[in-house]
Structures are given as structure tokens and as C-alpha cells.
A and B are shown apart, each in its own frame.
Chain A
Amino acid sequence: MILRAENISKRYFRRTGQANYFEAVKPLSLALEPGSLTLLMGRSGGGKTTLLHMLSGLLTPTEGKVWLGDTDLYALPDAQLSRLRGEQIGVVPQGRSAVDTLTVLENVLLPGQLCGRPAKQETALYWLEALEIGNLADARPAALSGGELRRMAIARVLTQDPQVILADEPTGDLDDASTRLVLSILQKAAHEQGKTVFVVTHENDAREYADRVYRMDGGSLS
């Protein structure tokens, strides 16, 4: 499914120089095609996370619209938007994203169970194995390292099996081998399953997996 941003921008109220607001993302439009992997790179503080959150229905833009197919995401009532997030939009956020009271396996199975479309346990175990953390299935997130948590979040998205995958620095804490593994899995999801994949990264080597590469600096896309 195609994910389109139409003149979206995000302003935060914050005193910067003359203005009393700060434009983290300047008005921009963007189309993410199904079956392709799009990379977003850029300096820290450039507005990448802000853009990714707006694209995934997690952050209301100050202006503009986000379309998933023919659906205007932010025109939906909360219940429907939430449901869409659980079924169609998979997000790997920057930083920790585990529910600490659940085991790794339960965390990975959570999205499907919350929206009443539970994924098979085998699927979850398959992805945990594929990401080389199968032995941690019954551990609690508190016991995991940063890189293991990262891969848990990726396994959660892959198990959820959504149309759109948005990953914010999914290889941040990973070594080279794991980075290549994750990127090739994401590439396969795009190329073989026709998913729309969007990845924010600082890794220059990631370019070879991408169909398109954007740069973002100072809130503008190039």
C-alpha cells in the first residue's frame, strides 16, 4: 500500500532566536511505494524521527495530511487509527519499546493479540530465530542488551506482518553482521512480499539495500 505525505510539517513551541516556535519538519511531500525500501539519512536533530512518527500515525502533523492508500490517517477517529497501527503499520521506534511485564515472546505476539488477529507462535519463534535471539524467547526484556531489544522490536514488526514497515535506526546498537542481517530481512520484506519499507539510519553501508535514499537536514528533505 502506498504511503503519502502531503505538505506535512511539525512545529514545536520553543523559543529559538526571533520566533517562538521551532520547525522540526518544514512542509514536505513524500510518497513511499509498495515493494520498495526507502532510506532516510541525515544529521542528528534533523527531524527524521519526527517525520517517521508523523508517517506512522503516532504524531499529528501541525499541517498537512498523511495518506495510507485512500485513508487520511489523521482524519480517522482514535479507535480506527489505533486499529490501523496494529494491523497495517509496523513501527520499530528509536530506543526501548518493550512492555517489561511481558516476556520477549509475549512482546512479539502483542500487536496481533491486541487487535484480535493473533499471530502464530511459530511465526514469532521463527523471526526470533532468524534474528538470532530465539534463546531469549522466555526472558524478560529487563534482562536483554540494547541490541537484543532492538532485534526484539524488529521481530515484533515482522511477526505483526503489516503492509507498511517504518524503522527508526533499527541497526543502531548492532554489530556489522547483525546490521547486514536486519537490512537484508527488511529488503526481502519489500522486494519479496511487496511491503512498503522506510528505514531511518546513520549507516552509510545501508545504501546498497535501498531503492531510494533521502537526506534530511534542518527539517528539509533532499
Chain B
Amino acid sequence: MNAFSLAIKNLIRKPGRTAALTLLTAFLALSVFGGSLVVSSLQRGLHSLESRLGADIIVLPASAQSKVSFEKLLLQGTTGAFYMDASALDAVREVEGVEIAAPQTFLASLKADCCAVKVQVIGMDQETDFVVQPWIAQSYSRSLGDMDVAVGCKVEADVGETLRIYDENCHVVARLAPTGTGLDTAVYCNMDTMNHLLAAAEQKGVSHKITSDSEETISAVYVKVKDGYDIDQVNSKLNGHVRKATAVRTRSMLTQVSDSLAGVSRTVSLLIAAVWVLALIILLIAFAMMAAERRREFAVLRLVGTSRRGLCRLVLTESALCSLAGGLIGIGAAAAVVFPFTTLIETQLGLPYLTPDARTMLLLGALALGVTVLVGALASAWAALRLSRTDPGATLREGA
């Protein structure tokens, strides 16, 4: 019998002790894996929001409501509709330092007979758009034709299906990659399609006109600033030059999100650290108690020829096996808790949330497992070291 099979026997034949250690480490792994999964999902969410907003400045109608409802649309996926005259676009382009100005027009479909689903429809100008099209290109290699739509990953419609919006049939040609933001619940089309839909909506009594004589309306202009120009300066010039519109730096919109994200991340990280320290202390106590209980057993092992190193190896093997099993159980439990409740977590946090890909997840799992086994090893190594310092003869005399 070598140290390994002795360790196995010790574990199997003391099931209570083994279960307690395993559960303890499972708890540690659960919190580390679950926590880091949430944090990394939030970070990915922010990252994808950043790239989806890939503009420096966004020009919105000057109404008090428009900025709020734009942010809600972005983060929570609520529908919104606000308009300004299309002439604003020309005004934006006149400002020095503006490299690209890409208009978008929004329309909210209704939860009524005429529409299959209540969604945000976003029309973009294919000539100038630099925000939506790269995203569409990830899943659809051609550009959107008339009455074609690309749908966000959370819209219930498959490629090849027809989506009815204001009694108009739209062909779903692409499903977009998830962003973890409100944009996942939107439907995208080109400007011609949008104008068609706006007219159809008009007939249903949903007006988009600001005044009776305005021909064309838009909802937002995405602005890319030329290299070498100060974004803040361009922003204030836009605010001065474009009438009835507000220019907002996307950064300032994002800082709000990233601030609360940092807050959540910090809380979760702190929680992980606290659990980690707590688990380390509990494990240290558990191993110290176990070592005290097994003093005589260990002295007997020394008596029959086990070296100090051999004893440490035995204790480490036992703890490694326990924490490996515990770690796997904990990670499994965390996965079982976090994945089914992804939607709940998203809505509760109100922040962009994007579950990482399989590779990252595996990495996080390995990390959590490593941390767990490390803590188990640290705690047991400390116990083993303390144990092996005394002469076995001294221990054998005690309570003989």
C-alpha cells in the first residue's frame, strides 16, 4: 500500500470527514466560479456595448425624453420613438471635424394584430452606416435588400421566416450575434424599408411627423470625428450648430454604465475575496482540527516508517482529492445556478450582460478549480507541517 491508496482508504472509510471537507471546498469553488462568471459576463457586456456604439458622438432630438429613452432602449431593450427633422443631418455634416454622420430612424411596432411582435425597428442608412453593418456582416455577408430585416438574437423569428410589422411582410435574412444589450431585442432594416414601414404605421395612426409639412424624419445621427479633432470641441460645436438637437458623447453615456458596472464588479469581487478568506480560515481550522484528531494516527504512521515528507504527502493527497471533487461539484453547482438564471440576473442588474464563450468559461472553471485546490493544499500543508515538527515519540506518549 503506497501513500495514495492509503489516502483513498482514509477518505472512503471516514465518509463523514471526507464529505465535510468536500462540501467546504465545493462552497468555495461555487462562489469563485459563479462570481467570476458574473463579473466577466458584465465586462463582456460593456465591451460589446462599446463596439455596438462605435461612434464618438450621437446626435438626438433636443426633447428631454429622447436621451433617456435612447439609453433605456440601449440597456433595457424597451421600445422608443423620437424624431427630428432630416435637415439636422445636413447641419451635422456642416460642422468641422465630422468625418462620418450616419442617420438612424426608429419605429416601435405595436403589440396588436398588425404586428407579430412588439419590437424596436431601427432603420439605418446603408451608404453611411458604420455601426450596424459591421455587426450584420458577422452573420450575413450581403447587404440588406428592400423589406429585408436582420433580427437581434432575442427576437423570436428565424432566418427565412416572415415578420409582420404594421401589416407589412418583412423577410428575416439574418440573426445577429448577441450583444447582451437592449439591441438584442431590436430589428434592423435599411432606410427604404424604414420609410415604407413609417408610412404603413402612419396609416395605423402611429405618426412620426414632427410637423405636418416635414417630409423626412430621423431619430439619431451617429458621428465619427475626424482624426486630430477634439471630440469635446466637435461635440459642443454640434450643440451650437444643429438646431433642436442635442449631441451626446457616447463615452459619457458609457461611463454611466461602466460606473455602475465597476460598482457591481467591485461588490462581487469583494464578495469572492471575503468568501475566499473565510473559506481559507474555515479550511485551516478544519484541517487543524482534523490534524489534532489524527495526531496519534499520524504518530503511528511515523512509527512504522513513514517519513515527515511521506506524512505531508499523505495529507496533501487527501486534501487534493477532496478539494478536486469539491471543486468540480462547486463549479457544476455554480453553472446550474448561473445559467438558468441568466435572464433574471440581466434584468435584476439592468446592465449589459453577455455570457462568455466556451473557452473563457473553461478557463474560468480551471481557475476556480485551481484556486480551490490551492486553498485546500495551503490549509492542509500548514496542518501537516505543524504535525511533522514534533517527534512521534512525544505524541505516542500522550494519553497512551
Please give the residue numbers on chain A whose beta carbons come within 8 Å of chain B beta carbons, in ascending order.
Answer: 49-50, 53-54, 56, 58-60, 78-79, 82-83, 85-87, 91, 93-102, 106, 109-111, 113-115, 156, 160
Contact = CB atoms under 8 A, between A and B. Distances in A.
Contacts of B303: 58, 85, 91, 93, 97
Contact of A99 (B301, B307, B310, B394): B301
B297 interface: yes
Contacts of B306: 82, 86, 114
A49 B300 CA distance: 15
B397 A49 contact: yes
B297 A99 contact: yes
Contacts of B304: 85-86, 110-111, 114, 156, 160
How would you classify the secondary structure of chain A's contact residues: helix, strand, loop or mixed? Answer: helix
B399 A95 contact: yes
A97 B393 CA distance: 12
B396 A93 contact: yes
Contact of A114 (B9, B310, B393, B400): B310
B305 interface: yes
B14 interface: yes
B72 interface: no
A101 B309 contact: no
A165 to B, nearest CB: 13
Nearest to B392: A58
B391 A60 contact: yes
Given A99-B300, A113-B2, A87 B305 contact: yes
B13 interface: yes
B237 to A, nearest CB: 79
B214 interface: no
A102 B9 CA distance: 7
Interface in B274-317: 296-297, 300-310
A82 B393 contact: no
A159 to B, nearest CB: 11
B309 A53 contact: no
A156 to B, nearest CB: 7
Nearest to A87: B305
Given A58-B302, A94-B396, A113-B2, 7 more contacts: A83-B307, A85-B305, A91-B303, A99-B301, A102-B6, A111-B304, A114-B2
A82 B307 contact: yes
A180 B309 CA distance: 39
B112 interface: no
B10 interface: yes
Q: Which of B10, B303, B391, B399 has the most CB of A within 10 A?
A: B303
B17 to A, nearest CB: 10
B310 A82 contact: yes
23 contacts: A49-B397, A49-B400, A53-B391, A53-B393, A58-B393, A59-B393, A82-B306, A82-B308, A85-B303, A86-B306, A96-B296, A96-B400, A97-B303, A99-B300, A100-B297, A101-B9, A101-B13, A111-B304, A114-B2, A114-B304, A114-B305, A115-B305, A160-B304
A58 B307 contact: no
Given A58-B391, A106-B1, A82 B305 contact: yes
A79 B309 contact: yes
A96 B295 CA distance: 12
Contact of A78 (B9, B309, B394, B397): B309
A201 to B, nearest CB: 15
A96 B394 CA distance: 14
B9 A54 contact: no
Nearest to B1: A113
Interface in B296-350: 296-297, 300-310
Contacts of A53: 391, 393, 396-397
B396 A111 contact: no
A62 B296 CA distance: 23
